[in-house]
Amino acid sequence: MRQHEVAERIKQYILQNRLRPGDALPTEAELCAAVGASRSSVREAIKTLTALDIVEVRHGHGTYVGRLSLTALVESLAFRGLLSRADDFRVLAELVEVRQTIEQGLAPSIVAALDDSLRTGLGEIADQMAELAARGETFVEQDRRFHLLLMEPLGNELVTQLTAAFWDVHAIVAPTMHTTPESVQETVQAHRAIVEAAAAGDADRLSAAIAAHYVPVRRHLQEGPEVSGPDAEEATA
């Protein structure tokens, strides 16, 4: 039996038995019987599913349903982007379009769900980004937290995971884009504008601020790659 078919049968076993992330799978012998495959075929299928985070092998304890994260998606997109960036940054441009579409499309829901605490949190992160930029330091982690916090009030786990995944891919692929101190400040101001629009409860204004936020990123993509420098990462988000 082919490895792919065995992997699919294990996935069906998980679904049919309504197993959840963290639940234990049966022993290897029991799993072989359940999917009708040999030990070697099951072991190879488990390796494949582990790489996809569908299952998790805990040595000395057994095999469990994995976290079902988007790690494999991030690695695949990042590699694809790294392969293409020397030519035209096409993959990164497509990623930017998807990110912008998601954020703009969710602008009304974000405005409706944001509370004072989250507005304050976004403002504090934007202030940190401005302080770091003024000192000539990077603010990659703050940028990531900003976009995740923007999505947090929606309570949509898939949106949160996709936001994190797309941001991570972007951060891996983007550092060779051409940037300047002026464009870094433009990025900082764009995040401030998003905070102000969200605080005002204006979905249209928030959508416009999100669109403006991606303008310098798109410009850098058109300008193409350069030798990475201390400001390069700030253009990623």
**pLDDT at res. 174:** 66
Which residues of the chain are modeled with pLDDT < 70? Answer: 1, 78, 80-88, 173-179, 223-237
Q: Comparing C-alpha atoms, which of 3, 173, 151, 147 is closest to residue 75?
A: 173
Task: Tell me the domains of the chain and their CATH numbers.
Answer: 3-65 (1.10.10.10), 71-236 (1.20.120.530)
**pLDDT at res. 229:** 40
**pLDDT at res. 83:** 64
- CB-based contacts of 221: which residues, under 8 Å, 6+ apart? 89, 92, 93, 96, 177
| Integer angstrom CA distances of residue 97 from 48, 70, 144, 216, 223 | 31, 19, 17, 13, 17
**pLDDT at res. 232:** 44
Measured between its terminal Cα atoms, the distance across the chain in Å is: 45
- CB-based contacts of 120: which residues, under 8 Å, 6+ apart? none
| pLDDT tens-place string over residues 79-100 | 766 666 555 577 778 888 988 9
**pLDDT at res. 9:** 94
